[in-house]
Amino acid sequence: MALNLIMLGAPGAGKGTQAERFARVHSIPKVSTGDILREAVQAGTEIGLRAKAIMDRGELVSDEVMVGIVEERLTRADAANGFILDGFPRTVAQAVALDGIMSGRAPLVIVDIVVPEADLVLRLGSRLVCEACGTNAAPGAQACGKCGGRLVQRADDNQAVVLERLDVYKRKTKPLVDFYSTRPTFCTVDGAQAPDRVAAALETAVARATERARGAVGGALR
């Protein structure tokens, strides 16, 4: 059975790092809408410039744009045996659209990485990214571990924007937990642990959710 995974969590919860690690271990693509949007920003396309202005204000890109990006990506051959979504869905409307995209495919496993808000503010305020490729820097790094580029603070990681992003998450994105929480494949992971411990907990949670998916009957899962 294909492994189709959604990573939920507030900004700074570590879902991007864990998604990349999990995808590498399981040989499935990590589909990050953030990466796709950053590529458009770097290319200077019209949609990229619009997205940059929105993200710099700590707001979310429209559902229509995000759904279209994800739907196209999931039709590629490398996603036939599964994928891990990082940064999508972010709203219930996007989740409903994703259910439509997933019709006829293996069930979605949904993981919510939970971190206290005070920890999130500290993490985001000190986070650095590569100016060239947008990769998050490892703690204490002096240059990008992926391309060697210069590390800078993201425009949307200053304190005022961090607080706005967390407020947007609570108002618009956290309702996804309610949307998915009754599904047998929904699970939570403590993201306040060390990264290796989070990764181990993630593996255990996904394995259990996958077993529940195999045991589910009929149309209970989508």
Kindly list the catalytic residues: 15, 90, 127, 154, 165
In a 3-state reduction of DSSP, which class is residue 79? helix
- Alpha-carbon distance of 198 to 189, in angstroms, equals 7
Looking from the CA of 109 toward its CB, the CA atoms found within 13 Å total 27
In a 3-state reduction of DSSP, which class is residue 131? coil
- Alpha-carbon distance of 36 to 105, in angstroms, equals 23
Sheet holding 82-86, edge to edge: 30-32, 82-86, 3-8, 108-114, 186-190
- Alpha-carbon distance of 195 to 197, in angstroms, equals 5
